[in-house]
A = this chain, B = another copy of it.
Amino acid sequence: MSKSVTTGRRAGLDRDDMVATALALVEKEGPASLTMRRLATELDVTTTTVYWHVGSRDELITEIIRQQSERQAARPIEGDTPRDRVMSAARHVWDSAIENRAITSLAHQTGTTSLLEHPLEVALAREVEAAGLAGPAAADALRAILTTVGGFLVRALRDESAIPEDRRGPALWAAADVEIDPSTVAALSEAPDLASLFEATVQAVVDHHVR
């Protein structure tokens, strides 16, 4: 019961402890829960202490993303043809984002996506080059593939339940003001199989650059 409010020294925490706690907090309660005050409470210190160790919210987030980027272990590329191996590398970006929704969302919101995914992007770049591309052609292929993957990620990570019913896509199509085929409207009302749509679409983009 020593509530010892030892005003002053020693909490025994360093920068890494704070980043680790912050990362865990984001994983457990989502990006919105990460506030300097909340993190301080979690660590049982004052906000000022957090500032002393991490600098600012921006630096904290950069550090979280940097750590997560390292944790996203290099995944083995599969496939025998360049086409398959490029596709495999692209899928790794998708998979690791899906497996780490909360932190990936945080990265998207703070513009640190490239920092988070860089190792996986490097792996993709290697396969693109192994397919015979270099220079501007390789850069274009890389950007086209990553941008397409990014589009699917934005869709997959968006929390539909956080959006009011009447602002969601399906509801808008159901209120069919115009001449769209009922069978199409019906198909649009159902939840899409994003994973297989991802496969087909990214494959099409890959095929456009690698053959």
Give the interface of A toward B (CB within 8 A). 58, 62, 111-112, 114-115, 118, 122, 125-126, 129, 133-136, 138-140, 142-144, 147-152, 154-155, 158-159, 162-164, 167-169, 172, 177-181, 183-184, 186-188, 190, 192, 197, 200-201, 204-205, 207-208
Q: Are A136's CB and B180's CB within 8 A? A: no
Q: How far is the CA of A137 from the CA of B188 in the complex (A)?
A: 10
**A149 partner residues in chain B, CB cutoff 8 A:** 151
CB distance from A140 to the nearest CB of B (A): 6
| Among candidates B142, B162, B197, residue contacting A147 with C-beta atoms closer than 8 Å | B197
**A168 partner residues in chain B, CB cutoff 8 A:** 114
Q: Which residue of chain B has the shortest Cβ distance to A140 in the bound complex? A: B197
**A136 partner residues in chain B, CB cutoff 8 A:** 187
Q: How far is the CA of A143 from the CA of B201 in the complex (A)?
A: 10
**A135 partner residues in chain B, CB cutoff 8 A:** 181, 183-184, 186-187
Q: Are B111's CB and A167's CB within 8 A? A: yes
**A159 partner residues in chain B, CB cutoff 8 A:** 111
Q: Which residue of chain B has the shortest Cβ distance to A108 in the bound complex? A: B154
**A118 partner residues in chain B, CB cutoff 8 A:** 172
CB distance from A149 to the nearest CB of B (A): 7
Contact status of A204 and B197, CB under 8 A, knowing A129-B180, A154-B150:
no
Q: Are B62's CB and A138's CB within 8 A? A: no
- Chain B CB within 10 A, most for which of A133, A147, A155, A187: A147
